[in-house]
Amino acid sequence: MRTQPVILAIDAFLEHVHATYPGVRVFHEDRKDIPHGAEVWRPGPNAQNIDLVVTLGGDGTILHASSLFSSGAVPPVLSFSMGTLGFLLPFHIDDFAKALESVFTRKATILNRMRLACTFYDNNLSKKTAEGDDWQVMNEIALHRGSSPHLNTIDIFVDGQHLTEAVSDGLIVSTPTGSTAYSLSAGGPIVHPSLSALVLTPICPRSLSFRPLVFPSSSVVTLRIGDRSRAPAGVSMDGRTSHVLNPGESVNVQASPFPVPCINRSSIIDSSTAEELQHSEGAGPGTEDDWVRDINNLLQYNATFRSKALLRHSRT
**Catalytic site positions:** 59
Identify the CA nearest to 74 among candidates 97, 55, 58, 51.
51
Spatial distance between the Cα atoms of 296 and 284, rounded to a whole number of angstroms: 19
Cβ proximity of 40 and 27 under 8 Å: yes
Q: Give the gyration radius of the chain's Cα atoms.
A: 22
For 244, residues 6+ apart whose C-beta sits below 8 A from its C-beta are 232, 233, 234, 235
β-bridge mates for residue 91, sequence order? 80
User: Counting beta carbons within 10 angstroms of the beta carbon of residue 109, is it exposed (0 to 12), middle (13 to 18) or buried (19 or more)?
Assistant: middle
How far from 308 is each of 20, 127, 304, 311, 314, CA to CA, in Å?
Answer: 46, 55, 10, 5, 10
Identify the CA nearest to 83 among candidates 93, 75, 71.
93
